[in-house]
Every structure is written in C-alpha cells, then in structure tokens.
C-alpha cells in the first residue's frame, strides 16, 4: 500500500513542531512535502532579536537543518510561496508552478506584521520585524544611515529598537499609548521600563499618531505625526502587531474569521485540511506565544496519525520575558477594576515593582518588574483559582519568602548569576550549560531542559531559576507550563482522571487499566507504571493486583539501592525504642556479613549499609526483625522524644504514643514517604514541626500538625486540631493520612497536596465531618488488615526469594 | 566461535523483569524478559554511572536505570536521547523455552 501524502504550507516553528510530533508517533505513515516562502529551513523566530543585536548568527538559530528534512524523507521546497489550493483535485500550487498532491493538508502560514495604512508605507526603508530578510535589511541600514524610527512600543518594537541602537543607530520609539507595553504592563511598570531604556540612549515619542511617511527619491526620509511634528527617519520599522496570514485559506474557500477557524482537533471546515500556529482562530482566540502553538502541534499530530486522541482546549497564557536585560512578567487582569484589591511593592531605586490584583481572595492578575522569580508561582495560583486567604500576609514576598529552597546557595535571580555558577545542586548543572543547551538544541520548555541537561530534574528546587533562564534566553518565547498536565507521555489523562476511572470502572490490574484508558505505549514507562500501581492498590486494597515489576527497585527488593548497587537494611524499631537483644543481633549480623557501615539514621533507626543483594534474605532471616520500610513510598518512622516516663519536662508519654501510631500504620503504602513524630511537650525534641503528621503533647492533650517537611524545602507543619486521648490521636492522624492516600497525586508529599487543595479542605473533611473522618480511618485500617511483613515473606517463600538469587556461570 | 550456554528457563525470569548472571571475575550480565517474551542481555552497567540496569523498570524494549533514570534500549544497549552512551550487548537466544547466552 502506498503511503498517504501530507503537504504542509508554511515552514515555521508551529508547523515543523507538528511534523516532529507526528514523526515521533507515526514515522512511516506519510510522504511529507513542505513549502516555505522564505529561502531558509525552519529557524527560531524568537531569537531574531539576538541576531539583530549581533549576539547570535543566523546559523545559531536554525532549528532544523536541511539534513533533518532529508533524513526524514521530507521533500522541502524553500523560497516557494504557495498561491493556490485546489480542494477538488487536492492539489497545492506554488508561485513558480510547483505542485503537490495531498491526502491531508496542514496549513501553518503564520502571520504577517501589520503595516499601518498611511501614505508612504510602501517606500523603501519601511519594513516589519518578522523574518530573516527584515533583520538583514535592518543590519544593512544601520551601516549606511543614522536615524531609525520604530513604530510600536510593544515587546517586538523595543527589541528591534534595542538591536538597532546596539548597531549604532539613533533610535526613537513611537507609541500611540501613554506608556510602553500596555498589553503586558501597567502604567508604573511601563514608565519604569521607559526610564531604564532612556538611560541606555533610546528616545521615546508617546501618544503620537503617525500621519504620513515622507520620502525622497523613493526612500523614506521622515515621519510626520497628526500634531504636525516631523522627525527624520532613514529606516522605519513597524511593530504595531501581527495579522494571521489567511489569504491562501480564504481564497480556497476555507472558513476564516480573524484567523483560519479550527475545532479542538485543529481541523478546518474542510476535514482533510488542518491548521496550526499563529494563522488559526481557535474558539475565537488567536495566539502568538510559542507554548500554545506547540500544544496545538501536539494535538494536531495525534489526529494526523489517526490516533484520534487529544483535544486542544485553548491556553491561558502569561508573559515572562526579558526586554533588553530587564525581567518582566505579567498575567491575567493586571489593571484591576472597581471590585478588585491590589497588593503593591515598589522600589523605584532598586528597579523592582510587583503588583498583585486580587478578587474574592484569588489572584486574578499580576505584573512583576525587575524580579520575576515568583511569576510562575503566582500564575499557577491564578490559573488554579486558588484561595490566597491563608497566605495573604506574606504572599508578596514570594514562595521562598522566609524558607529558602536549598542547594543553590540562596540564589534567586538568574540574571545575577555568572555562567559558571551552579543552578542545580543535585546534578551539578551550571547556568552556562543550561543557556548553551537552550540555544544550541532549540529547547523551549522546562521539560526540554530537564531532559537535556538534567537541571531541575531531580529534586526540583531550582525550577524557578531554570524558568528564569529559559525566559531570559528565549525572550518572549517562553510561557510557563500548565499545571493540569497529563501523567506522562503515555497518556493524555491527568492523575486525577486516572484515579477516578480506576475507581469508577473497578480496574484491578495494570494491563486492564492501560487497556481501558487507551495507553499509548504497550507497558507504560518508569514514571506512569509505579503511579498506576499505587492508584490500583490504594483504591482497591486486597483486590487489586500489586505488580512488583511496576515498583521501583527499592520497593521490589524491600531495601534501599546504593550508588554501587549494594543495598541498605533498616529494621523497624517501633517509636525508636530498641533492646539489648536487638542490638546484639544487629551487631552479630554486621560481623557475619561483613557489613561496611552501621549508621544511626535521622529517623531513630539503625542502618546497615553496603549489603550485597543476594545476602539480603539471609540478613533478614538472621535479624528476625520487621522491615523498617526505609526504602518506600510508605510509612517511614514515628520519631519520638522520651516523654513523661523519664523526662522532667514531659507532659505526655510520647514514646508510647509513637509506638502505637507506628504499629497502627505499619506496612502502609502512600503517594510518597510519610514521616511522623511525637513530642511529649512543647519543647518539641522530636521535631514534630517538620513532619507529615507531627504531634505535640501538652498538659491537656495532644496538638496535631500536618504537612510539614524537612527536605528540599523546609516547610513548617500547620496546626490541624487539638485532641485529648490516644484513640483520638490515632483516628485523626489516620483519617488525615487516608485522605492524602486517596487524593494526592503519586509523588506528592503531604505539603504539596495541601498546597493544592488548601488547609480548609482538609479541616472540612477531618474536623467538621465526624462520620467521614471515622469512615476514612476505617478504610485505612481495612487496607492494612493482615498485611504481611515483606522481609518475613521473602525469607519464607522461594518464589519471592528468586529476585535475590543471581545465576552463576 | 559461538559458545552458547544455557542459563535459565524462560519462566525463571519474571516478565518485565530480569535476572543477573554472575561470571567469575568478569562483568555481570543482566538478562531481561519483555512482555512479549523476548529476551535481551546487556552488561549490567549503565553507561552513565555504572548503575545496575538489571534492577531497573522494564517497559517496551527499554529499561530505566534505577540510579538516575537513564533509559537504555535493550536491543542495542544505546541510551535514549538526549542521553548518550552505550552498554555492551551480549548475544542471547531463546529455544524451546530455554535461554542461552553466548559467553
């Protein structure tokens, strides 16, 4: 059978990204032909400004070389503008007569700069700022002429002006509005930007309406405004907006309004014809930022590949960008109105301005100038419609206000970092490496950077920094990612959707779940399989099939893998209490198996490090102690202080309480590790303030705190309630943990989950609904009922032991 | 000259799992079984930081290293882009439910 023919008109970023996505999922399906009006292969349009400024060359910004097209068997026609689509014969015809037949046609014609309809707009020296040709014209002009006028004080205009000034021209920016970038900035920020650009030598004419361009010998000579003023101009760059390029589609009778109208599958009114990018109008919106365009491309590719999955439902965009070295961020309704409140921080000398617009306790808009590190955080809350009532008093000071992330020396301004400074302390990635990868490998998203450089790919605490570097390297091309994203590349469903379907359909094993939800890969990947396995066993305890092969090695081997492939063994000591007999056994085992290190852990256990995998079952048998689950997404330890039994300050028997809790929740799997602590008095020696559930004994009972974390980012636990009896401590803690087990995304710690749902939500379920609380606690106890100790099981059962037995030749 | 040595029956290797073959003084070999019951053998060392690939999660015809999450192609031992590297392959065959290595 011969292949289907796919023709793409437009050889720009959105279109070629669609082809890349298509080739990834269905490489053999089509014979592909691409027409591009420009004489270049696909290049990174966003980086035209650095080329103009002389920081990069055209070759640096090519995304797909001609070899790439050849390698994938794509016929590439550059410098050929398609002028006609014959929908009856299914044929496209270019200016020079080249034709190509199609079974599917993809329109990615992009947009054109809007040229003001004023007399003289066709003079030589009057251009837009859109493609390599425009940049060449500007560079040539800068060598021969002096006066440049840029019409349009938006991002593009300012970048053009900056580049021309660097090339030695005398540049004036003409803008119709009262301040610059009025679509992204409010007046204060707009004026700050203007001041800083004036310091660099740029001039501004604001609130000016262009009336006419005056020429001499066919070339532009001056610009005249409606108020009669005239300024000299040897070069006029129009940067007053873009227009979707729809002529071709319109002439072919394809329905267009502002853009080419498409549905959620990126299909036009002709079902054989798809469209993506700046040329489309989707739900009456056109887009100009790269992130939404790429989202469209991804959806379109799945439909071209006949997978029929994925819908594009529009994007909420924010702008995080860098204009001539100044970081800016804006999102939502940043001007506000009568029913909104504002929180403002303004340091004119320091060059920092931050404004949050709030309505009904929710962020509805934001402008940040100079310091944009918290832009993504604000944007996430804006998009999720999260209530900020609880954090209002320190909201303005940012996510890391009082408790900084660790691992990058307290840096929170990427711009202030030199290339050799470390961004990612986990993987040792420097700023220069990230910048280089973004430029050379054509990266656009946080995910791209994570995959390629590993920066922010481990603990994630440097995510904000990496996003800033992306924003400053890509300029206007960067838009933070949506939070409600699919679980992984194997599905389009979110964690929440997957959980719901597992519950509604009573899915009991992984193949069944993948089959029902149309998983894209035959057996998932290392990120979705463990998540699915957890969702199955936590939703249907005692019924769902726990698949060891879908668990990370630590949970499969019930020990913690170390860098040299050996394992560590941590036996359980309930409440951190041990006996001389246990200690003797541990000492004997350490001697017998020549265990290289014996260490006391932070959770009040003893860790035997460097055990060979095949020794594990023997070590467990000799120890004859239960597993401490020090390796799992599971209950870890309940740390305790001595408490009233011995301590002269103790008000409660914290040790006994800790032992009761640890016994009650033994063998419990969870979305991530779960740590508890019980202190016997407010001196809090067990550090209850940084635990998932922290309990503090006071004279009249017990205080419960939840959502603390001592790891990557120190998070202080929040007060949940005060109770009187041991039974209540068990019930309230258990109900909280079960709510987390049932609702958090896999790999969410309690703090992340609470951040998303809000403390009020937790209180409503645990404190206000007594029946619901008891039911949660019952469900937790039911799921733990009769669960065996994993070490004992492996010591006793040959089949379970096989994991640990090597084959010797 | 091939030197085929029987190392196990297919059912001794868990589906989507692996077994480790130890050789006196030589590098360990990881023998994988995929869901479609094909077998593959690689040196049990990730090209990144020598992580034991045998302990990774197997999906499709790939394995994810347990240490830092590199994905390695089982058929040729090559790391999947953007990572770059190679784990040496060992010839392996499956005959009548028995697994042989060329060692």
Pick the range with the lowest mean pLDDT from A42-56, A552-566, B11-25.
A42-56
Instruction: List pLDDT tens digits, range A691-748.
Output: 999 999 999 999 999 999 998 778 899 999 999 999 999 999 999 999 999 999 999 9
A238 backbone φψ class: left, alpha, beta (φ>0; ψ -120 to 50): beta
Q: Bigger pLDDT: A131 or A290?
A: A131
* Closest Cα in chain B, distance from residue A457 (Å): 10
Answer yes or no: are the C-beta atoms of A299 and A292 closer than 8 Å: no
CB-based contact A525 B64, cutoff 8 Å: yes
Instruction: List pLDDT tens digits, range A138-196.
Output: 999 999 999 999 999 988 899 899 999 999 999 999 999 999 998 888 899 999 999 98
At residue A475 the predicted structure's pLDDT band, cuts being 50, 70 and 90, is low
**What is the per-residue pLDDT for A400?**
61
Asked if A265 reaches chain B (Cβ–Cβ under 8 Å), the answer is no
Q: Is the pLDDT of residue A477 over 70?
A: no
At residue A401 the predicted structure's pLDDT band, cuts being 50, 70 and 90, is low
| Residue B88 to residues A487, B32, B46, B92, Cα–Cα distance (Å) | 32, 14, 10, 13
Q: Is the pLDDT of residue A383 over 90?
A: no
Write out the DSSP string of chain B: ---EEEEEEGGGS-TTEEEEEEETTEEEEEEEE-TTS-EEEEES--TTT---GGGSEEETTEEE-TTT--EEETTT-BBPTTS--B--B--EEEETTEEEEE-
Q: Is the pLDDT of residue A71 over 90?
A: yes
Q: Is the pLDDT of residue A550 over 50?
A: yes
CB-based contact B57 A526, cutoff 8 Å: yes
- What is the torsion angle, in degrees rounded to the nearest 10, for the CA atoms of residue A244, residue A246, residue A248 and residue A254? 150
Phi and psi dihedrals of A50, rounded to 5?
Answer: -60, -30
Write out the DSSP string of A608-639: EEEE-GGGHHHHHHHH---B--TTSSBEEEEE
**What is the per-residue pLDDT for A53?**
87
End-to-end CA distance of chain B: 10
Q: Is the pLDDT of residue A404 over 60?
A: no
Domain spans of chain B, in order of start? 4-102
d(CA A556, CA A144): 71
d(CA A369, CA A354): 6
CB-based contact A807 B8, cutoff 8 Å: yes
- What is the torsion angle, in degrees rounded to the nearest 10, for the CA atoms of residue A596, residue A598, residue A599 and residue A603? 120
Write out the DSSP string of A663-690: HHTTT-B-SS-EEEEEESSTT-TT-GGG
For chain A, give the percent of residues with pLDDT over 70.
96
User: Chain A partners of B67 at a C-beta cutoff of 8 Å?
Assistant: 561, 563
Q: Is the pLDDT of residue A683 over 70?
A: yes
| Residue A315 to residues A285, A286, A296, A337, A483, Cα–Cα distance (Å) | 10, 10, 10, 23, 12
Give the chain B residue nearest A426 (alpha carbons): B68
**What is the per-residue pLDDT for A350?**
84
Residue A641 labelled as part of a binding site: yes
Instruction: List pLDDT tens digits, range A227-276.
Output: 999 999 999 999 998 899 999 999 999 999 999 999 999 999 999 999 99
Write the burial class of residue A443 (CB in 10 Å: 0-12 exposed, 13-18 middle, 19+ buried): buried
Query: What mean pLDDT is predicted for residues A431-455?
Result: 86
Residue A681 labelled as part of a binding site: yes
Instruction: List pLDDT tens digits, range A611-653.
Output: 999 999 999 999 999 999 999 999 999 999 999 999 999 999 9
Please name the residue that has the structure tokens 């959105």: A14
Cis peptide before B82 (omega within 30 of 0): yes
CB-based contact A529 B60, cutoff 8 Å: no
Query: What mean pLDDT is predicted for residues A366-387?
Result: 83
ipTM of the complex in this document: 0.93
User: Chain B partners of A809 at a C-beta cutoff of 8 Å?
Assistant: 5, 7, 21-24, 103
User: Chain A partners of B92 at a C-beta cutoff of 8 Å?
Assistant: none
Tokens coding A517: 């939800």
The string over A70-102, giving b where at least 16 C-beta atoms fall within 10 Å of a residue's C-beta and e elsewhere, is: eeeebebbbebebeebeeeebebebeeeeebeb
Interface subset of A 433-462, CB within 8 angstroms of B: 441, 451-452, 454, 457
d(CA A598, CA A305): 56
d(CA A639, CA A662): 9
Number of residues written out for chain B:
103
End-to-end CA distance of chain A: 49
Domains, chain A, with CATH or none: 4-111+244-304 (3.50.50.60), 126-240 (3.50.50.60), 318-477 (3.30.390.30), 495-551 (no CATH), 555-623 (3.90.480.10), 635-784 (3.30.413.10)
At residue A402 the predicted structure's pLDDT band, cuts being 50, 70 and 90, is very low
Q: Is the pLDDT of residue A380 over 80?
A: no
SS3 of A465, please?
Answer: helix
Tokens coding A489: 């590349």
Cα radius of gyration (chain B)? 13
Query: What mean pLDDT is predicted for residues A280-286?
Result: 91
Query: What mean pLDDT is predicted for residues A494-520?
Result: 95
Spell out the residues 6+ positions from residue A132 whose beta carbon is closer than 8 angstroms to its own: A38, A40, A43, A48, A51, A58
Q: Bigger pLDDT: A460 or A28?
A: A28
* Region B4-102: CATH code: 2.102.10.10
CB-based contact B21 A529, cutoff 8 Å: no
Q: What strand order describes the sheet that includes B62-64?
A: B57-59, B62-64, B71-73
Query: What mean pLDDT is predicted for residues A536-561?
Result: 96
Neighbours of A809 (CB within 10 A): 13
At residue A413 the predicted structure's pLDDT band, cuts being 50, 70 and 90, is low
**What is the per-residue pLDDT for B92?**
95
CB-based contact B57 A548, cutoff 8 Å: no
Q: Is the pLDDT of residue A412 over 70?
A: no
d(CA B49, CA B63): 15
What is the rounded average pLDDT for all residues in chain A? Answer: 91
Query: What mean pLDDT is predicted for residues B40-47?
Result: 96
Q: Bigger pLDDT: A713 or A406?
A: A713
Query: What mean pLDDT is predicted for residues A606-611?
Result: 97
A429-430 and A422-424: which strand pairing? antiparallel
CB-based contact B60 A523, cutoff 8 Å: yes
**What is the per-residue pLDDT for A483?**
57
Phi and psi dihedrals of A78, rounded to 5?
Answer: -95, 160
């Amino acid at each position: 059978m011969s292949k289907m023919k796919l023709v793409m008109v437009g050889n720009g970023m959105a279109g070629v990204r669609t082809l890349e996505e298509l080739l990834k999922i269905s490489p053999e399906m089509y014979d592909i032909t691409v027409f591009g009006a420009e004489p270049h292969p696909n290049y990174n349009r966003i980086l035209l400004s650095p080329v103009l400024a002389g920081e990069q060359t055209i070759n640096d910004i090519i995304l797909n070389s001609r070899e790439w097209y050849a390698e994938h068997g794509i016929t590439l026609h550059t410098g050929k503008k398609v002028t006609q689509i014959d929908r009856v014969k299914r044929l496209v015809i270019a200016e020079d007569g080249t034709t190509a037949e199609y079974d599917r046609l993809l329109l990615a014609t992009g947009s054109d700069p809007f040229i003001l309809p004023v007399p003289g707009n066709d003079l030589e020296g009057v251009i837009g700022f859109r493609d390599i040709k425009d940049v060449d014209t500007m560079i040539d002009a800068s060598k021969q002429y002096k006066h440049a006028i840029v019409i349009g004080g938006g991002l593009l205009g300012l970048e053009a002006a900056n580049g021309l000034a660097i090339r030695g021209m005398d540049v004036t920016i003409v803008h119709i509005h009262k301040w610059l970038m009025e679509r992204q900035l409010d007046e204060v920020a707009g004026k700050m930007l203007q001041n800083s650009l004036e310091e660099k030598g740029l001039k501004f004419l604001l609130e000016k309406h262009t009336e006419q361009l005056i020429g001499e010998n066919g070339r532009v000579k001056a610009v005249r405004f409606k108020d009669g003023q005239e300024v000299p101009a040897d070069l006029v760059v129009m940067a007053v907006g873009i227009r979707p390029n729809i002529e071709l589609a319109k002439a072919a009778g394809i329905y267009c309004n502002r853009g080419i109208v498409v549905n959620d599958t990126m299909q036009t009114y002709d079902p054989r014809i798809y469209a993506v990018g700046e040329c489309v109008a989707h739900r009456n919106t056109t887009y100009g930022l790269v992130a939404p365009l790429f989202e469209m491309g991804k959806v379109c590719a799945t439909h071209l590949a006949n997978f029929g999955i994925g819908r594009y439902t529009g994007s909420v965009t924010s702008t995080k960008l860098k204009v001539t070295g100044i970081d800016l961020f804006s999102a939502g309704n940043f001007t506000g109105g009568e029913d909104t409140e504002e929180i403002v921080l303004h340091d004119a000398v320091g060059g920092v301005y931050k404004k949050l617009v709030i309505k009904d306790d929710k962020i509805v808009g934001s402008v940040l100038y100079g310091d944009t590190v918290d832009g993504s955080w604000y944007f996430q809350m804006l998009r999720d419609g999260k209530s900020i009532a609880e954090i209002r008093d320190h909201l303005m000071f940012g996510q890391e206000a009082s408790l900084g992330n660790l691992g990058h020396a307290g840096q929170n301004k990427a711009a202030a970092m030199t290339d050799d400074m470390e961004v990612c302390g986990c993987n040792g990635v420097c700023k220069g490496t990230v910048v280089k990868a973004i430029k050379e490998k054509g990266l656009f998203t946080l995910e791209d950077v994570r995959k390629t450089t590993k920066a922010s790919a481990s603990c994630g605490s440097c995510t904000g920094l990496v996003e800033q570097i992306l924003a400053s390297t890509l300029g206007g091309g960067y838009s933070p990612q949506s939070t409600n994203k699919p679980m992984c590349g194997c599905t389009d469903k979110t964690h929440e959707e997957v959980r719901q379907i597992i519950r509604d359909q009573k899915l009991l094993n992984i193949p069944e779940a993948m089959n029902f939800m149309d998983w894209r890969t035959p057996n998932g990947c290392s990120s979705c399989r463990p998540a699915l396995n957890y969702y199955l066993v936590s939703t249907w305890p005692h019924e769902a099939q726990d698949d060891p092969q879908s668990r990370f090695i630590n949970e499969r081997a019930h020990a913690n893998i170390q860098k040299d492939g050996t394992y560590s063994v941590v036996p359980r000591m309930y409440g951190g209490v041990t006996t001389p007999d246990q200690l003797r056994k541990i000492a004997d085992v350490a001697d017998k198996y020549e265990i290289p290190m014996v260490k006391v852990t932070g959770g009040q256990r003893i860790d035997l490090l460097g055990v060979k995998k095949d020794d594990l079952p023997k070590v467990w048998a000799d120890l004859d102690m239960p597993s401490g689950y020090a390796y799992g997404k599971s209950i870890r330890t309940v740390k305790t202080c001595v408490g009233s039994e011995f301590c002269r300050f103790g008000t409660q028997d914290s040790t006994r309480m800790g032992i009761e809790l640890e016994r009650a929740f033994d063998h419990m799997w969870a979305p991530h590790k779960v740590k508890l602590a019980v202190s016997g008095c407010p001196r809090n020696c067990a550090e209850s303030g940084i635990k998932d559930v922290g309990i503090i004994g006071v004279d009249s009972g017990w205080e419960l705190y939840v959502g603390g974390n001592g790891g990557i980012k120190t998070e202080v636990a929040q007060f949940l309630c005060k109770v009187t009896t041991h039974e209540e401590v068990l019930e309230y803690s258990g109900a909280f943990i079960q709510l987390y087990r049932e609702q958090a995304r896999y790999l969410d710690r309690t703090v992340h989950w609470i951040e998303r749902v809000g403390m009020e939500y937790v209180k409503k379920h645990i404190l206000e609904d007594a029946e619901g609380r008891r039911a949660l606690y019952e469900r937790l106890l039911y799921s733990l009922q009769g669960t065996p100790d994993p070490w004992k099981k492996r010591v006793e059962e040959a089949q379970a032991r096989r994991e640990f037995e090597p084959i010797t030749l | 000259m091939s030197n085929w040595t029987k190392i196990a029956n297919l059912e001794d290797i868990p589906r989507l799992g692996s077994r480790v073959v130890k050789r006196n003084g030589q590098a360990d070999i990881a023998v994988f079984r995929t869901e479609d019951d094909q077998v593959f053998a690689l040196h049990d060392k990730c090209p990144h930081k020598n992580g034991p690939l045998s302990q990774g999660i197997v999906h499709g015809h790939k394995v994810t290293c347990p240490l830092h999450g590199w994905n390695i192609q089982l058929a040729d031992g090559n790391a999947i882009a953007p990572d770059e590297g190679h784990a040496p392959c060992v010839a392996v065959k499956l005959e009548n439910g028995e697994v042989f290595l060329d060692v």
